[in-house]
């Protein structure tokens, strides 16, 4: 048997370091060749690191949230044959009592991670099979995916244990083998409490801000710090637009795909930007240069399991409704799956954001720096309106927009949104060049 060290690969594009965001293995796990062992994050993209060989995990080289230099040791495996490390360079033997996620080499810890969380990881239970008494077993939400290695998931399946009911004592709530033992020893019963819904709750959770969540925090902080925002909200009657959308879906939904409201909004934005090119722009405030773009590279704010991402639909001005709908679905799915390439997550000139049916009445969206504008879509509701002296029900929707006041004047912002309103309230104009 030999020792094989897996190092952080050279991802290219001059990247010198990455952030470790997820472990897929733990010490003691057996990994196959090409099995994913960890996810790391560059500036925006998340990259999976596979194992080039099969073997048993001896030790991990970093903690979740650490910044790791390219070429640094990531994992040590016990493999058949000689491996790629000398025997005397192998880590000290890990006993069963130390099989919790204790890491051999730590780079500089993330600034946003509380010191208590690092200490908690290093102070893992010394006795296997004993779960922390301070953390009662609480069922997770039905759609919440528990953190656990493939080995733990397989063992839970063999034991007939549902992981959503198991307390995780590892980093970020990861479920360990010892947690399964403790759950089985307790009979899978939660501690006795008072009347349902009225029991006292005593607990605190320190959640490190790492990975995509940290990138989002930095991006939002930079946007609000550097950009003087002002917002503009307008109410739009989308009754005719919804009637047109329903008609198009009934005629072409099976052959061309169903249309949402977003492709219509994107088309209205493209047409309105022709009159206001200063809004389809990026502002380099350090150089004092505003770059206006002929093409509309539409950022589509997308909620993922890791947080908000903004994939880019390039040249939206060249797409019809169905091509735009397919493009939005494609880039959004790439972001949600974590498979989006780096160039698919940068280069937008204006952003469209929507919370769908949960869009509320109005919002104040944050500009995606270094863009100068963002348009947010709120939910469609039926409200009474006066039409020809009669009170009738109409479908109304608010557009909530924010602009960089250094570049966009309030009058121009209002005119831009009013141009979009005219197009959306008379949807036939969307098809007139």
> Alpha-carbon distance 373 to 186, whole Å?
56
> Alpha-carbon distance 60 to 75, whole Å?
5
- This prediction's pTM: 0.63
* 364 confidence band (pLDDT: 50, 70, 90): very high
Task: Find out whether 296 and 271 touch, Cβ atoms under 8 Å.
Answer: no
* Average of per-residue pLDDT across 30-40: 89
Backbone φ and ψ for 36, nearest 5 degrees, come out as: -70, 130
Task: Find out whether 230 and 405 touch, Cβ atoms under 8 Å.
Answer: yes
Q: What share of the chain is helix, strand, coil (3-state, %, to 5)?
A: 30, 25, 45
* Average of per-residue pLDDT across 54-65: 88
* 25 confidence band (pLDDT: 50, 70, 90): very high
pLDDT of residue 276: 97
* 114 confidence band (pLDDT: 50, 70, 90): very low
> Alpha-carbon distance 166 to 176, whole Å?
10
* Average of per-residue pLDDT across 222-249: 95
> Alpha-carbon distance 399 to 236, whole Å?
7
pLDDT of residue 65: 82
pLDDT of residue 112: 44
Q: Which residues are catalytic?
A: 405, 409
Count of beta carbons in the 10 Å neighbourhood of residue 84: 16
Q: Which residues of 225-253 are buried (b: 16+ CB within 10 A; e: fewer)?
A: eebeeeebeeebbbbebbebbeebeeeee
pLDDT of residue 307: 82
Distance of CA 268 to the CA centre of its chain: 28
> Alpha-carbon distance 124 to 156, whole Å?
21
Dump pLDDT digits (tens) for 80-109: 888 887 655 544 343 333 333 434 433 344
* Average of per-residue pLDDT across 198-226: 82
pLDDT of residue 208: 80
- Lowest pLDDT segment from 35-44, 241-250, 341-350, 413-422: 35-44
> Alpha-carbon distance 134 to 180, whole Å?
17
Backbone φ and ψ for 221, nearest 5 degrees, come out as: -65, -40
* 30 confidence band (pLDDT: 50, 70, 90): very high
SS3 38: strand
Of 112-126, 140-154, 209-223, 228-242, the range with the highest mean pLDDT is: 228-242
Domain annotation for the chain: domains and CATH numbers: 1-110 (2.40.50.100), 111-192+204-209 (4.10.320.10), 213-431 (3.30.559.10)
């Amino acid at each position: 048997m030999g020792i094989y060290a897996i190092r952080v690969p050279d991802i290219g594009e001059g990247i010198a370091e990455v952030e470790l965001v997820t472990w897929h293995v733990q010490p003691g796990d057996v990994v196959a060749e090409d099995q994913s062992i960890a996810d790391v994050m560059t500036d925006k993209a998340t990259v999976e690191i596979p194992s080039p060989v099969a073997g048993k995990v001896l030790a991990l080289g970093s903690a979740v949230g650490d910044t790791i230099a390219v070429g640094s040791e990531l994992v040590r495996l016990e493999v058949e044959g000689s491996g790629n490390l000398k025997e005397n360079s192998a880590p000290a033997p890990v006993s069963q009592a130390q099989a919790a996620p204790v890491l051999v080499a730590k780079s500089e810890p993330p600034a946003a991670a509380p010191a208590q969380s690092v200490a908690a990881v290093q102070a893992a239970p010394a006795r296997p099979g004993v779960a922390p008494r301070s953390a009662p077993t609480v069922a997770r939400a039905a759609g919440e995916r528990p953190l656990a290695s493939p080995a733990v998931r397989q063992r839970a399946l063999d034991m007939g244990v549902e992981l959503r009911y198991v307390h995780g004592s590892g980093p970020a709530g990861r479920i360990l083998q010892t947690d399964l033992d403790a759950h089985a020893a307790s009979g899978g019963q939660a501690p006795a409490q008072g009347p349902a819904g009225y029991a006292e709750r005593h607990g605190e959770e320190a959640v490190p801000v790492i990975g995509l969540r940290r990138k989002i925090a930095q991006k939002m902080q930079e946007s609000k710090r550097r950009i003087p925002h002002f917002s503009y909200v307008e109410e739009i009657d989308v009754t005719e637009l919804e009637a047109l959308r329903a008609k198009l879906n009934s005629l072409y939904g099976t052959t061309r795909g169903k249309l949402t409201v977003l492709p219509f909004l994107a088309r209205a934005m493209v047409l309105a930007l022709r009159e206001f090119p200063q809004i389809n722009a990026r502002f380099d405030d350090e150089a004092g240069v505003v770059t206006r773009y002929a093409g509309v590279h539409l950022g589509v704010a997308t909620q993922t399991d890791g947080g908000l991402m903004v994939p880019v639909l390039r040249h939206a001005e060249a797409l019809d409704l169905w091509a735009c709908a397919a493009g939005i679905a494609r880039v959004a799915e790439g972001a949600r799956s974590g498979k989006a390439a780096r160039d698919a997550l940068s280069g937008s000139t204006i952003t469209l954001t929507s919370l769908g049916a949960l869009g509320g009445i109005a919002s104040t969206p944050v500009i995606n720096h270094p863009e100068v504008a963002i348009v947010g879509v709120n939910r469609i509701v039926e409200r009474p309106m006066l039409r020809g002296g009669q009170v009738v029900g109409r479908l109304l929707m608010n557009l909530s927009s924010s602009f960089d006041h250094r570049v966009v004047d309030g009058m121009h912002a209002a005119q831009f949104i009013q141009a979009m309103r005219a197009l959306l309230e008379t949807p036939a104009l969307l098809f007139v060049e």
